[in-house]
């Protein structure tokens, strides 16, 4: 019988046939005359069964020398077996060792985070990491599909910038032919300018924050998706956020059942995510917090413990809207009903995952915006092109930014966002 080359995910179509697989050895267990090897090929894992009496001596010896993560080609008969993870196993008739691996540092047991991050390039192969990154991939695809289906045009914004985003203190600077360049903190200012060209636009890319944060919610390099919509006010903005977040969660539930199971995610917590989400004004939130014993003063931004107190009462993500002006960025539109506040919102994920979205209606009045830039002591000359947007046909517009890693952490139920990106950049980690 000719061995047919295939992949593990397709094994069910080859029951009883002899097939050839290529992949990496996860574990081996030998019992003298029968031995097992679990092989991963990137599409799944399968247990391979080796019987000494049915194999040439050379194959049996090669098996004995097999090390964890060696690359192999195996041929054998596909048979269903309830004892095997995946439901199928391979009765091996042939084994080619393509590359014998050296002693593999990561064992199938507990390791410390620091050790694992030092070996991130190898850790990616582990099952929980594969599952998380697969969910990330699906979330990213869901993001693109949502905007594509809703007639948004993707605008790729620059990573190297001359002017600045929000706060100069948290920008990474680099040399640009003798001039200072900064790594983008946000694509928002650029994406706003594309609104008059395409009406609905978004950018999606890495952003950089030189914040000395050491928490499970922070990375110095993270991915953010930032839509911007012309003639949309703050309420329209929140409705868009709801629909967007729901579509992402729905997609993960639809396409990542297997991964969420590996991650032991309680998917009932995700199945209830439906619009509309609760909307609580900042002022209401402060009152609620006072009722819960917090001593927050009106005007202060909500801290992480405050956010946790608010979200503990809700199974859905919660909007907190219209924060005090002094707690928010210069480009947010003043609230005509209450000029102490601006038209903006955060979206807090349930189960303690915290802020996954920050959004606002943008200040479209040239003089007001100029005034705010001065109040914040920002260099007005750097914002010339941004101010032009208010000179040539200014318009009501709104947008938001969603943090991909935080969103994936929530969906997967994992506790640290450093595992939600293939190669996390942290305050003290630049390699691998």
Partner RNA sequence: UCCCGGGUAGCUCAGCUGGUUAGAGCAUCUGACUGUUAAUCAGAGGGUCGUCGGUUCGAGUCCGACCCCGGGAGCCA
Residues of span 199-258 touching RNA by CB under 7 A: 209, 211-220, 222, 224
Among 4, 9, 67, 432, binds RNA (CB under 7 A): 67
With CA atoms as reference, report the closest residue to 77 among 86, 87, 90. Answer: 90
Contact 184, 156 (CB under 8 A): no
Among 265, 397, 406, 414, binds RNA (CB under 7 A): 406
> Shortest Cβ distance from residue 409 to RNA (Å)?
9
**Which residue, 196 or 278, is less far from RNA as judged by CB?**
278
d(CA 142, CA 419): 20
> Shortest Cβ distance from residue 391 to RNA (Å)?
25
Please state whether 352 falls in left (phi above 0), alpha (psi between -120 and 50) or beta: left
Residues of span 28-57 touching RNA by CB under 7 A: 29-34, 36, 47, 49, 51-53
> Shortest Cβ distance from residue 419 to RNA (Å)?
10
**Which residue, 255 or 314, is less far from RNA as judged by CB?**
314
**Which residue, 276 or 303, is less far from RNA as judged by CB?**
303
* Residue 405 makes contact with RNA by CB under 7 A: yes
**Which residue, 268 or 428, is less far from RNA as judged by CB?**
428
> Shortest Cβ distance from residue 104 to RNA (Å)?
8
328-343 burial, b if ≥16 CB within 10 A, otherwise e? bbbbbbbbeeeeebbb
* Residue 355 makes contact with RNA by CB under 7 A: yes
> Shortest Cβ distance from residue 242 to RNA (Å)?
15
Residues of span 134-193 touching RNA by CB under 7 A: 167, 170, 186
Q: Which of the stretches 120-128, 309-317, 356-364, 386-394 binds RNA when contact is defined by CB under 7 A?
A: 356-364
**Which residue, 52 or 269, is less far from RNA as judged by CB?**
52
Residues constituting the chain: 432
> Shortest Cβ distance from residue 327 to RNA (Å)?
6
With CA atoms as reference, report the closest residue to 44 among 81, 76, 84. Answer: 84
* Residue 303 makes contact with RNA by CB under 7 A: yes
Q: Crossing angle, helix 127-149 and helix 234-255, to 10 degrees?
A: 130
With CA atoms as reference, report the closest residue to 242 among 148, 347, 398. Answer: 347
Residues of span 106-125 touching RNA by CB under 7 A: 107-115, 117
Three-state DSSP class for 167? coil
Mask for 68-107, x = binds RNA (CB under 7 A): x------------x-xxx---x-x-----------x-x-x
Give the long-range contacts of residues 61-64, CB within 8 A, separation 24 or more. 62/95, 62/97, 63/28, 63/30, 63/35, 63/37, 63/95, 64/30
Three-state DSSP class for 81? coil
């Amino acid at each position: 019988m000719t061995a047919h080359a295939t992949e593990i995910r397709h094994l069910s179509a080859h029951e009883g046939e002899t097939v050839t697989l290529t992949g990496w050895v996860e574990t081996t267990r030998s019992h003298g005359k029968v031995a097992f090897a679990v092989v991963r090929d990137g599409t799944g894992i399968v247990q391979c069964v080796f019987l000494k009496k049915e194999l040439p001596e050379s194959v049996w010896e090669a098996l004995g020398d097999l090390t964890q993560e060696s690359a192999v080609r195996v041929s054998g008969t596909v048979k269903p077996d309830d004892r095997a993870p995946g439901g199928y196993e391979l009765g091996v008739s042939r084994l080619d060792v393509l590359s014998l691996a050296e002693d593999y540092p990561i064992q199938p047991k507990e390791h410390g985070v620091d050790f694992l991050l030092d070996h991130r390039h190898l850790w990616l192969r582990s099952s929980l990491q594969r599952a998380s990154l697969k969910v990330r991939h699906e979330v990213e695809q869901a993001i693109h599909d949502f905007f594509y289906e809703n007639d948004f045009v993707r605008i790729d914004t620059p990573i190297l910038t001359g002017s600045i985003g929000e706060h100069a203190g948290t920008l990474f600077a680099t040399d640009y032919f003798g001039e200072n360049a900064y790594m983008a903190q946000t694509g928002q200012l650029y994406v706003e300018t594309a609104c008059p060209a395409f009406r609905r636009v978004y950018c999606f890319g890495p952003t950089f924050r030189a914040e000395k944060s050491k928490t499970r919610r922070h990375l110095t390099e993270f991915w953010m998706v930032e839509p911007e919509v012309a003639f949309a006010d703050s309420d329209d903005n929140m409705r868009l956020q709801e629909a967007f977040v729901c579509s992402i969660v729905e997609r993960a539930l639809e396409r990542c059942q297997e991964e969420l199971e590996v991650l032991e995610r309680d998917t009932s917590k995700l199945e209830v995510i439906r619009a509309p989400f609760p909307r609580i004004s900042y002022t209401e939130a402060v009152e609620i917090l006072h009722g819960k014993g917090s001593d927050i003063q009106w005007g202060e931004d909500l801290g992480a413990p405050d956010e946790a107190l608010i979200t503990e009462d809700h199974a859905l993500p919660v909007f907190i809207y219209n924060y005090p002006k002094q707690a928010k960025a210069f480009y947010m539109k003043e609230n005509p009903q209450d000029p102490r506040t601006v038209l903006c919102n955060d979206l807090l994920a349930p189960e303690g995952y915290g802020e996954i979205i920050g959004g606002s209606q943008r200040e479209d009045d040239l003089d007001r915006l100029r005034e705010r830039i001065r109040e914040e002591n920002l260099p007005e000359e750097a914002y010339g092109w941004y101010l032009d947007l208010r000179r040539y046909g200014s318009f009501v517009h709104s947008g938001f930014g969603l943090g991909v890693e935080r969103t994936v952490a929530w969906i997967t139920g994992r506790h640290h966002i450093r595992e939600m990106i293939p190669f996390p950049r942290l305050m003290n980690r630049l390699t691998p």
